[in-house]
Copies of this chain bind each other. A is one copy, B any other.
Amino acid sequence: MQQYEAGQYDIIVIGAGHAGCEAGLAAARMGAEVLMITINLDMVAFMPCNPSIGGPAKGVVVREIDALGGEMGKNIDKTAIQIRMLNTGKGPAVQALRAQADKFQYQHEMKNTLENEPNLTLHQGMVDELLVEDGVCTGVITMTGAIYRSKAVVITTGTFLRGEIILGELKYSSGPNNQQPSIKLSDHLRELGFDMERFKTGTPPRINSQTIDYSLTEIQPGDEEPRAFSYETTKMITDQLPCWLTYTNEHTHRLIDENLHRSPMFSGMIKGTGARYCPSIEDKVVRFSDKPRHQIFLEPEGRHTNEVYVQGLSTSLPEEVQHELIKTVPALKNARMMRPGYAIEYDAIVPTQLWPTLETKKIKNLYTAGQINGTSGYEEAAAQGLMAGINAARNIFGKEEVILSRSDAYIGVLIDDLVTKGTNEPYRLLTSRAEYRLLLRQDNCDLRLTDLGHEIGLISQERYEKFTKKKADIEAEINRLQKTILKPNEQTQAVIREAGGSELKDGIRASDLLKRPEMKYSHIAQLIPSEYELADDVIDQVEIQIKYEGYIEKSLQQVEKLKKLENKKIPEDIDYDAINGIATEARQKLNEVRPLSIAQASRISGVNPADISILLVYIEHGKIARVSGDE
């Protein structure tokens, strides 16, 4: 290929999947001249798997992305066909929004947003190589010989690196959904010295809704209350489509058992590691052989298509078996499969090769985000894309990069897990991964992150002022309730009786009365109405923050303790081999991960408290000077 100089940009983003879109938009909106290169412009923000956004942990991430000024929340609000708050019966820490997307509209809407972003150039192309000079990434070279130069590069290549589709006995080189795979870039990353792992993921068949017997399913409608992910959305969807629930049965399981020898997962054909937390149906049947049935959710892929996503039936069994598999479910007895499920294997980067900024340790100004970092899921990808975009832009503008802590956001947990612990399988966010679940609620994402989003420059002044007012309203109201003493007079007792509680003996702070499980803010407001009308979300916060005050306080104390350790920074150029007494395994891991703080070091598996003590002493006694100095 004859090469040519194709232009100079601040930042180049490779890929326009969920990670790439956030990275490109964030950097452009922060003032960087951004070039986004992607293999196929018709596949921007494509959802190769479930047509839905959110759910436990992931739903919180979408709101965190929104609070930081990202796009995913807005885009799904514009294109949802259904939206629900999950776990409304449970505590606020496990509640989460989940939306079904019109998959095609989601793509078109996101693409159009990219097209209209002033500092952003969207170009179809295949990146084959990076330009690296003196350990610094300075651009890319594409298949057509175009050399684009830049100050930083963000790679967000998803499942395309040496992608291979596997379906029964069939295996062929391909990106997801039969797109072109990215082969040269994968080889090139290995040549540059990156450790890669081989992962796999899978997707279920799609069937024609006209061939489903819905009378044999349970309907799953959307919420009646209007909801949205983004704090900026004002137009909620009104015309929702339902999903439908049905189940596998012993016939399904027997069929799978009988065909296990043809399953590429069990025949040894699939070498890549799959995610434990989104197993294929053959996996579930084998691992939970005592379970008589598994859930199947039938999810429409959009408003103007009959394709229905069969959630729960992810599989790479031969097409032949898939046809029969579907028919074992009574509601799907006559269902026609439109496309078979398949598995895909791909290369990912071992994420411990990244700083918590998502910059690679090997090559400066090179960032990676999304599924290439070993994660799985649109929201996980978008979150990383946003942070990589923000940090690439701050880096080239000479600003300090942004690292979210584990107590700031699920995004902090995600990235810290990746760069500190690495992952042996596609990583998914789960609520159980977050120590501070009670702090990382979906209802307070804006309170946690809007200040930062504004400082970064991704939250408009108008939005910020609205936010500041909301925060002030919440504080003022909590304050008022904490200061107001309710006397045990007839009015108060009546309200309490009505709520089903036991009457007051003495006066009580309004806030303390609200802590009683049976009391709602509305009861308190009957007794001491606020002078101003308070917005619903302000009232929600007042209630949650007062009711859960004790738990929240405890979490905050733990966070404080941790913060002290986080503040004990480890110099980037520390020489672990020069420190006596550290165990061999710990030394190896420390050398690999190169944690930025004592707190991070303490989270590395294989690094024990004894090693941490030695490290602390070494750093605190100034001995570090010896390492970087040349005495």
Contacts and interface: CB of A to CB of B under 8 A. Distances in A.
A208 interface: yes
Contacts of A304: 108-109, 112
Contacts of A40: 177-178
A1 B172 CA distance: 12
Nearest to A144: B319
A1 B115 contact: no
A306 B337 contact: no
B2 A124 contact: no
A66 interface: no
Contacts of A144: 167-168, 170, 318-320, 340
A41 B108 CA distance: 17
- In the A-B complex, the 3 residue pairs with the smallest Cβ-Cβ separation, listed nearest first, are A115-B306, A124-B339, A4-B320
A482 interface: no
Interface string A583-619: 0000000000000000000000000000000000000
Nearest to A337: B123
Given A123-B339, A169-B2, A307-B41, A145 B210 contact: no
Contacts of A109: 304
Interface string A218-230: 0000000000000
Contacts of A307: 41, 115
A548 B473 CA distance: 80
A28 to B, nearest CB: 13
Contacts of A208: 115, 121-122
Q: How many copies does the complex hold?
A: 2
A256 interface: no
B116 A41 contact: no
Given A169-B2, A178-B179, A112 B306 contact: yes
Contacts of A116: 210, 306
Given A1-B170, A39-B178, A123-B338, A145 B318 contact: yes
Interface in A90-125: 104, 108-109, 111-112, 115-116, 121-124
A6 interface: yes
B178 A338 contact: no
A323 interface: yes
A447 interface: no
A305 B111 contact: yes
Given A124-B339, A319-B146, A305 B2 contact: no
Interface string A166-195: 011110001001111000000000000000
A41 B262 CA distance: 26
Contacts of A499: none
A498 interface: no
A307 to B, nearest CB: 7
A523 interface: no
24 contacts: A1-B169, A2-B168, A4-B318, A4-B320, A6-B320, A42-B42, A108-B305, A112-B305, A112-B306, A115-B208, A115-B305, A121-B208, A121-B336, A123-B336, A123-B337, A143-B170, A144-B168, A144-B319, A144-B320, A144-B340, A145-B318, A146-B319, A178-B179, A178-B180
B339 A177 contact: no
Nearest to A323: B6
Interface in A401-456: none
Nearest to A2: B169
A471 B580 CA distance: 101
Nearest to A42: B177
Contacts of A42: 42, 177
Nearest to A319: B144
Contacts of A123: 336-339
